[in-house]
Amino acid sequence: MSKANKAVLAIILIGISVFLGFEPLYEKVEGGVAGAVIGASFGAIFVVILTNYLLTKQTEVEQESTRSERVFEEKVNLYKEILTATEVMLEDGYIKGSEEMKRIPFLMLRLQMLGNDEAIKSYQNIYHQINNIFIAEPGNDEVEVSEESFLKLFQLLGDFCNVCRLDLKVSEQKIDTKLFNIISEDIKKSNEILLGKVNKNISEIHGHIIKLDKSIDLKTIKRDYIAWQIPNWPTKVEYQVVTRVKQKIFIVQVSAEGAKGKYVAEKLENLLPLLNTKFPNFDWHCDTWYSDYNNRVFTTIDINEPEKAAALYLQIINETKNDVDSIVMGK
């Protein structure tokens, strides 16, 4: 029980005591100087108790106000630090395990201390996405952030900012859904413009692919990868050429990302003997790709050999697409 509540209880008890215990005394005294002294004494007692109550309540209010101000300042600083740390992580297009990944768990712990449940949940989605990006290439300390992952992180950061807005009581409700969608779409477009200018290697290999096979109908041409698939396949079951500029390689692979493609991922390793037989001059491997389970078979080619990478890409499509289709169809 707080001091203020104890004071109120004391006032009530004293009032009851006066009513029950001292009424006979007043009747016997019958006024006069003695009655005045008794009345003044009880008045003084009530003044002391009420003053104590008011002072205690004022102290509690001041302490609560000071605590709230301090927590508010700490929250603002923490939320700004989280956004800054994420900005630094993404601005060069790479996530560095030895530097940047080590910082995130401590930000999450501080958020658990100060943030509300919605803020913690929202940042957990960002943390999970960053982890998936980093573990996609377990052998590398620096992992390039794909265009798709980059845009996904920006969307999650927008959600996080919206939750922070409520937690800080900047507003009583989230940003209007229509306005939020407009802002998100503008951010997406600006990033697509920026990211679209980054990777010339994709332009080079795309040119070689079209030169070798003018009839090919590529599904996706993004900043850092090209994809092809048969139309009835799950969305992220694809043949891909991915660039890793800092590592100076093309990754030529068959991958199956996402829940809908997991049943395909479980059988992709069966392609290794075929690939090793058909293309023995390349080192083929099976491991994780934006997942916590093996979901791709791949090889790498020097980034200075786009024509070689393009030729291999088309060859593995022609030689193995029926095998992948059989896996997709469950045959």
> 220-221 and 294-302 as β-strands: parallel, antiparallel, unpaired?
unpaired
Looking at the structure, do residues 125 and 139 belong to the same domain, yes or no?
yes
φ, ψ of residue 94 in degrees (nearest 5)? -135, 145
Structural domain for 318, as ranges:
200-328
CB 238 within 8 A of CB 251: no
Overall average pLDDT of the 23-30 stretch = 61
Looking at the structure, do residues 209 and 177 belong to the same domain, yes or no?
no
Is residue 51 included in any domain, yes or no? no
pLDDT of residue 133 exceeding 90, the answer is no
Looking at the structure, do residues 205 and 317 belong to the same domain, yes or no?
yes
The pLDDT value recorded for residue 175 is: 72
Cβ within 8 Å of residue 317, ≥6 positions away: 228, 239
Looking at the structure, do residues 217 and 242 belong to the same domain, yes or no?
yes
The pLDDT value recorded for residue 326 is: 94
pLDDT 10s digits, 224-282: 889 999 999 998 999 999 998 888 999 999 999 888 899 999 999 999 999 999 999 99
Looking at the structure, do residues 240 and 208 belong to the same domain, yes or no?
yes
pLDDT 10s digits, 134-173: 887 777 777 878 777 888 888 898 889 889 988 888 877 7
Is residue 276 included in any domain, yes or no? yes
Domain boundary among 195, 213, 247: 195
**CA 255 centroid distance within chain:** 24
Beta bridge partners of 228: 239
pLDDT 10s digits, 68-100: 788 889 999 999 999 888 888 877 777 877 677
Distance CA 156, CA 127 (A): 10
Overall average pLDDT of the 126-133 stretch = 88
Residue 303 region, left (φ>0) first, then alpha (ψ -120 to 50), else beta?
A: alpha
**CA 204 centroid distance within chain:** 34
Distance CA 132, CA 145 (A): 11
Radius of gyration of the chain (CA): 34
Shortest CA distance to 306 belongs to which of 210, 217, 228? 210
Domain boundary among 195, 214, 229: 195
Is residue 45 included in any domain, yes or no? no
What is this structure's pTM? 0.55
- Measured over the CA atoms of residue 54, residue 60, residue 62 and residue 65, the dihedral's sign is negative
**SS3 state at 243:** strand
pLDDT of residue 310 exceeding 90, the answer is yes
pLDDT of residue 43 exceeding 80, the answer is no
195 or 46: whose pLDDT is higher?
Answer: 46
CB 331 within 8 A of CB 284: no
Q: At what angle do helices 32-91 and 117-135 cross, to 10 degrees?
A: 20
**Total of domains in the chain:** 2
Average of per-residue pLDDT values in the chain: 82
Is residue 122 included in any domain, yes or no? yes
Looking at the structure, do residues 180 and 208 belong to the same domain, yes or no?
no
Distance CA 77, CA 67 (A): 15
Residue 246 region, left (φ>0) first, then alpha (ψ -120 to 50), else beta?
A: alpha
Is residue 16 included in any domain, yes or no? no
Domain boundary among 158, 174, 195: 195
Is residue 5 included in any domain, yes or no? no
Overall average pLDDT of the 7-31 stretch = 62
Looking at the structure, do residues 211 and 308 belong to the same domain, yes or no?
yes
**SS3 state at 225:** strand
Q: What percentage of the chain has pLDDT greater than the value 70?
A: 79
CATH number at residue 304: 3.30.1460.10
Predicted confidence band at 198 (pLDDT cuts at 50, 70, 90)?
very low
**CA 142 centroid distance within chain:** 20
Looking at the structure, do residues 166 and 217 belong to the same domain, yes or no?
no
φ, ψ of residue 224 in degrees (nearest 5)? -125, 10
CB-CB neighbours of 218 under 10 Å: 15
DSSP 202-220: HHHHHHHHHHH-TT---SE
